[in-house]
Structure 1
Amino acid sequence: MIRVMIVDDQDIIRAGLAAIVGAPEDLEVVAQAADGFEALQTLATTAVDVLLVDLRMPGIDGVETVRRVRLLRPAAELGILVVTTFDEDENVLRALRAGADGFFSKSASPAEIADGVRRVAAGGRALSDHAVGVVVDHVADDRGVVIDRAVADLVATLTPREREIVEAIVSGLDGATIAARLHLSPFTVKTHANRAMAKVGATDRGQLVSLAVRAGILPS
């Protein structure tokens, strides 16, 4: 069972997220907090696997909450997933730099949020397509980025079709768009993407993008 704490200053939003997260049998909402201070106090006495936190809150905001939580609990002990209305590019980068493991807009589907909780609980990353695009653009603009030869060797084992799909993912395209452009079914696109992840050692889409960029695959 994955134990989740929800941190949001709006009662109705907390209730909605609790209903979403608490619906699957493998997830359980064990605590809720209305701000970062309450979250920190609750974490001191409650066993939590994933912190699901908003960005705009009174007192200390979500980014500062993430930063303070990380000083107490490393990623190996606690996953942090930001779910917010304010998904501007800078907020994505600020949250990830502070130590968040994932970033979703509140417009994400219940299935996406539940899956994101599972992924960060397992030590992975959970990023929306928009967040992935922000990270890729940021890395691509960094003139200090150099090719990681070990990762490039792994990427070289991809089939032409797998690489084509990875390149499309790095460019920020979702599965449905890739399928339409390549005249493939969404299932086929997902199968090739999963095979590519297995070959390069990625556990999720966000890590696949990160590794691909390190190998020199940049957004077109």
Structure 2
Amino acid sequence: MTGPARPVRVLVCDDQALVRAGYATIFAAQPGLEVVGEASDGSAAVRSAGRLLPDVVVMDIRMPGMDGIEATRRLAGPDAVAPARVLVVTTFHTDEYVYEALRAGASGFLLKDATPSQLVDGVRTIAAGESLLAPAVTRRLIGRYASRIRPAERSGTPDGGPLGSLTPRELQALRLIATGRSNAEIAEELVISRETAKTYVSRILTKLDLRDRVQAVVLAYRVGLVSAQD
């Protein structure tokens, strides 16, 4: 007989004390979530994460000193010593750095007008090893910032380079992932079962050595498989 599951350890990083307190109150009221610390900027988040080893870091982007992008890179990027999963919470209309945060290793994002239940669900989703990309928001957000990718980064082609290992069917699935489709929508568009769609997604991530759907979206835009007009 197994005991109760270990609670999800959450570190909250935001430069506004009221925001941090609000998040902490929301999470503390939820079974299975434990707030292990708070940080007021990116440097403090990196230091606290090294000491507290959270499962999920809820990260603001615009902060004095080290911003959320650099902190995310250090916490979840390829050189992270003890990688944590980062959930970026941002303001869509004013924050122009979300795309860079995803490239830095964030596992997903929510808008700051998200409801408490959406915030809690987001943390649980990230902690479970999945990415958080609401399809409608993904199409708007990634499309908006894809134009910021330098031309040299769009030199890859579906026939070679990073995507050369994918089958034509997997390329179709990757295009749909990159435009924000869920597994159910992928299944509908490709006329396959949801389980098969899930298998395609898993194979794509494995073949391309990607952590999650967020990285798949970023890669698809980087190599020019899709564009902001798709």
TM-score, structure 1 as length reference? 0.67
Match status 1:100 vs 2:97: no
2:54 aligned to which of 30, 40, 48? 48
Match status 1:64 vs 2:75: no
- Pairwise CA distance, 1:4: 0.4
C-alpha contact (below 8 Å) 2:75/2:84 kept by paired residues? no
Rounded Cα–Cα distance in structure 2 between residues aligned with 1:211 and 1:153: 17
Match status 1:146 vs 2:157: yes
Kindly provide the CA deviation profile for residues 32-81 of structure 1, in whole angstroms up to 9, marking residues without a partner as x.
Answer: 11222322232232131111111121222211222333479739731011
Map of 1:4 onto structure 2 = 10
Unaligned runs of 5+ in 1: 176-187
Match status 1:117 vs 2:128: no
What is the identity, as a one-letter code, of the residue corresponding to 1:59? G
> Which piece of structure 1 moves more, 108-117 or 197-206?
197-206
Q: For the aligned residues, what is the CA RMSD?
A: 4.0
Kindly provide the CA deviation profile for residues 112-156 of structure 1, in whole angstroms up to 9, marking residues without a partner as x.
Answer: 3223222322333223443454335628x8642422365444448
What is the identity, as a one-letter code, of the residue corresponding to 2:142? V
Rounded Cα–Cα distance in structure 2 between residues aligned with 1:86 and 1:75: 30
Q: State the identity as a percent.
A: 35
Paired residues, number: 200
Map of 1:91 onto structure 2 = 97
TM-score, structure 2 as length reference? 0.65
C-alpha contact (below 8 Å) 2:9/2:54 kept by paired residues? yes
Map of 1:184 onto structure 2 = none
- Pairwise CA distance, 1:172: 5.3
What is the identity, as a one-letter code, of the residue corresponding to 1:103? F
- Pairwise CA distance, 1:108: 1.9
- Pairwise CA distance, 1:191: 8.1
Q: 2:10 is paired with a residue of what secondary structure?
A: strand
C-alpha contact (below 8 Å) 2:50/2:82 kept by paired residues? no
Over 3 Å counting, the alpha-carbon distance change for 1:172 and 1:87 in structure 2 is farther
Match status 1:21 vs 2:27: yes
Unaligned runs of 5+ in 2: 1-6, 206-211
Rounded Cα–Cα distance in structure 1 between residues aligned with 2:19 and 2:64: 15
1:134 aligned to which of 137, 141, 155? 141
Q: 2:23 is paired with a residue of what secondary structure?
A: helix
Query: Residues 186-205 of structure 1: matches in 2 within 5 Å?
Result: 192=188, 194-195=194-195, 197-202=197-202
What is the identity, as a one-letter code, of the residue corresponding to 1:198? K
